[in-house]
């Protein structure tokens, strides 16, 4: 039961193999046993989960057959949940209990999913390893000595480790795709604007996008059907129809033009990952796809431009944490300025402070044109590279990350950590959809194939990922103990 994916669980629930209450109870027991070592969850809501599961069972008995009905769900702790602590992995929001649900939370609740808890993450989603969390690092279920990736590391560890079959994540520079790659699961980041950002705690507003972490692309299609769509409360939410992603999954690959970007196979890519990704591309070719070499000439500028745009937007977004309206407040402030400065200095961790300082610098008088405007111009060049490529190809495919999961503490230098996202960041700058699907193992650790689509190419992307999962079984290879028999 704990290894099944959403599509399978949905079928089992329909035929009455077990109830949602039984399924949720199994997940909760599994969490109790495994979470002390994986640290995937920041909070668990056992009582409400069992009540929601009982309601789902009753709805099913009354004839409801929505695909996500009664399926356990974990939310990244960046999504506001009414009455349930939402920390964003920070001391700043340790005691923050939102009075409302995020748009994504409302929609998945409406689809009948059962919320079982909130997952660990890098503080304010700033990190690629989950090590910046105030609540301690989550661990990779394939090897607890290694990171699960980040920032949606808790969600990835929970789904890979058999704790929960589906979870939400957010992706500002790779925060869904890279942990999916490191944990051997499927991570989907939709086009910018496809899913509501309302009630999702802001990091970099022109880049942030919510998405899914699941055990298959077909599962991502089910979650996306529920999550996508216009939300008038998010001014950048896009008003266009939501496709029926599940009905597109079976389209054959014959004739698909797959762009293979040269800069994603440059030096720094681990040889084992390169071999695996080349083999994955060969699988697509065998199924009738055509591989076409392409260039993304400005890709090397994506990390530098991102580390202006994202910190600049973060410094503005995080100015709201002032110790006055909500969040951490220091003891005995001597005056208002001391209240602001000390509350923020105590509430934020080192990486968050670094990014606020870099962003403040980039936006400060005299530097705005040299940094922020320059980065926005490069952003257009990066987007043009993709627009140009998509005149020749339908999708672009390559590695998600240059290597497999690294040990905790291995990347102490922030710049080294930033370069982790060298293959994923340009996708956010361009606002495109991207997915990471399991594509092999190196030294027993999984890595992912990243597939990138044009604007609002969600349906085709999920279709290609699903077809790849019909040709391979990498996505079936969860960690040995994910069935729950062993500790």
| Nearer CB in complex with other proteins: 112/454 | 454
Active site residue 151: yes
Binding window for other proteins (CB under 8 A); candidates: 218-226, 250-258, 398-406, 413-421: 413-421
- Separation of alpha carbons 187 and 417, rounded Å: 20
- Choice among 175, 181, 196, 401 that is catalytic: 175
- Minimum gap (Å) between residue 379 Cβ and other proteins: 4
| Backbone φ, ψ for residue 79 (5° rounding) | -95, 125
Write the CB contacts of 28 (distance below 8 Å, at least 6 apart in sequence). 44, 46, 49, 50, 116
Nearest 5°: the CA angle 320, 323, 329 is 150
Q: Minimum distance between the CB of residue 442 and other proteins, rounded to whole angstroms? A: 27
Residue 361 binds other proteins, judged by CB under 8 A: yes
CB of 202 to other proteins, least distance (A): 15
- Considering the rule CB under 8 A, would residue 267 count as an interface residue with other proteins? no
Q: Does 364 bind other proteins (CB under 8 A)?
A: yes
H/E element, 13: helix 6-15
Among positions 288-317, residues that touch other proteins (CB under 8 A) are 298, 300-301, 303-305, 307-308, 315
Interface of this chain with other proteins, residues 6 to 45, rule: CB under 8 A: none
Stretch that binds other proteins, among 14-22, 102-110, 219-227, 320-328 (CB under 8 A): 320-328
- In whole angstroms, how close is the CB of 431 to other proteins at the nearest point? 2
The two tokens of residue 482 are 């994910």
CB of 469 closer than 8 Å to CB of 435? no
Q: Judged by CB under 8 A, which of 251, 257, 353, 477 binds other proteins?
A: 353
- The answer to whether 324 contacts other proteins (rule: CB under 8 A) is yes
Tokens of 480: 């040995």
127 vs 145: CA distance, rounded Å:
18
> What track of x and - describes contact with other proteins for positions 70 through 109 (by CB under 8 A)?
--------------------------xx-x----------
Residues ≥6 apart with Cβ < 8 Å to 45 = 84, 115, 116, 117
Please report how close the Cβ of residue 65 comes to other proteins at its closest, in angstroms: 34
Catalytic residue among 20, 90, 128, 151: 151
- Tokens found for residue 142: 């394939």
- Kindly state whether residue 377 participates in binding other proteins, applying the rule CB under 8 A: yes
Which residues, listed in sequence order, are joined to residue 81 by a DSSP beta bridge? 84
402 binds other proteins (CB under 8 A): no
Q: Is 392 a catalytic residue?
A: no
Per CB under 8 A, does 242 bind other proteins? no
**Phi-psi domain of 284 (left: phi exceeds 0; alpha: psi -120 through 50; beta: other):** alpha
Residues in region 144-203 near other proteins by CB under 8 A: 192-193
β strands within 282-402, DSSP E: 290-294, 395-399
Q: Which of 76, 118, 189, 411 is catalytic?
A: 76
Q: How far apart are CA 274 and CA 48, in angstroms?
A: 45
Contact 181, 187 (CB under 8 A): yes
Q: How far is the CB of 308 from other proteins (least distance, A)?
A: 6
**Of the candidates 400, 449, 434, which has an alpha carbon nearest to the alpha carbon of residue 420?**
400
- Of positions 19, 48, 206, 270, contacts other proteins by CB under 8 A: 206
Q: The tokens of 210 are what?
A: 């919510």
Q: Strand 186-189: give its sheet, edge to edge.
A: 41-44, 114-119, 72-76, 166-170, 210-214, 186-189, 434-442, 445-452, 395-399, 257-261, 290-294
Q: Does 241 bind other proteins (CB under 8 A)?
A: no
* Site for other proteins contains 265 (CB under 8 A): no
Asked if 460 touches other proteins (CB under 8 A), the answer is no
Residues binding other proteins (CB under 8 A): 96-97, 99, 192-193, 206, 232, 235-236, 238-239, 298, 300-301, 303-305, 307-308, 315, 319, 322-327, 329, 333-342, 344-345, 348, 353-354, 356-358, 360-362, 364, 371, 373-381, 383, 413-415, 418, 429-432, 455
Looking at the annotation, which residues are catalytic?
76, 151, 175
């Amino acid at each position: 039961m704990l290894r099944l994916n959403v599509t399978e669980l949905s079928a089992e629930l329909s035929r009455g193999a077990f109830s949602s209450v039984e399924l949720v109870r199994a997940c909760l027991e599994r969490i109790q046993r495994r979470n002390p070592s994986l640290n995937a969850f920041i909070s668990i809501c056992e009582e409400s989960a069992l009540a929601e599961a009982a309601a789902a069972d009753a709805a099913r008995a009354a004839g409801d057959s929505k695909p996500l009905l009664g399926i356990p769900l974990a939310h990244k702790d960046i999504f506001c949940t009414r009455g349930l602590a939402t920390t964003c992995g920070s001391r700043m929001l340790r005691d923050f209990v939102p009075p409302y649900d995020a748009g994504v939370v409302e929609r998945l609740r409406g689809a009948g999913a059962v919320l079982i808890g909130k997952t660990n993450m890098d503080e304010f989603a700033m990190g690629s390893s989950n090590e910046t969390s105030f609540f301690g690092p989550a661990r990779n279920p394939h090897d607890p000595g290694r990171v699960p990736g980040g920032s949606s590391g808790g969600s990835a560890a929970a789904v890979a480790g058999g704790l929960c079959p589906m979870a939400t994540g957010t992706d500002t520079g790779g925060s869904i795709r890279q942990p999916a790659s490191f944990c051997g699961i499927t991570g989907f980041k939709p086009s910018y604007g496809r899913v509501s950002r309302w009630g999702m705690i802001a990091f970099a507003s022109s880049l942030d996008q919510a998405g899914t972490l699941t055990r298959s692309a077909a599962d991502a299609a089910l979650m996306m059907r529920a999550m996508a769509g216009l939300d008038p409360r998010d001014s950048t939410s896009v008003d266009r129809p939501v496709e029926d992603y599940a009905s597109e999954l079976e389209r054959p690959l014959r004739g698909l033009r797959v762009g293979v970007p040269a800069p994603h196979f440059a030096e720094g890519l681990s040889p084992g990952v390169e071999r695996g990704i080349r083999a994955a591309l060969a699988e697509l070719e065998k199924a009738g796809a055509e591989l076409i070499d392409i260039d993304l000439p400005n890709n090397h500028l994506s990390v530098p431009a991102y580390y202006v745009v994202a910190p600049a937007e973060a410094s503005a977004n995080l100015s709201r944490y002032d110790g006055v309206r909500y969040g951490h407040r220091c003891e005995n402030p001597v005056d208002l300025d001391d209240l602001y400065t000390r509350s923020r200095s105590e509430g934020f961790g080192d990486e968050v402070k670094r990014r606020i300082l870099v962003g403040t610098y980039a936006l400060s008088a005299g530097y705005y044109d040299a940094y922020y405007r320059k980065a926005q111009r490069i952003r257009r060049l990066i987007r043009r590279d993709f627009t140009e490529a998509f005149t020749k190809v339908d999708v672009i495919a390559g590695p998600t990350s240059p290597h497999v999961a690294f040990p905790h503490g291995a990347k102490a230098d922030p710049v080294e950590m930033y370069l982790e996202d060298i293959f994923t960041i340009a996708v956010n700058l361009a606002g495109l959809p991207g997915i990471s699907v399991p594509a092999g193992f190196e030294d027993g650790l999984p890595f992912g194939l990243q597939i990138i689509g044009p604007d609002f190419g969600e349906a085709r992307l999920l279709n290609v990922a699903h077809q790849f999962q019909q040709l391979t079984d990498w996505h079936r290879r969860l960690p040995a103990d994910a069935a729950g028999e062993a500790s």
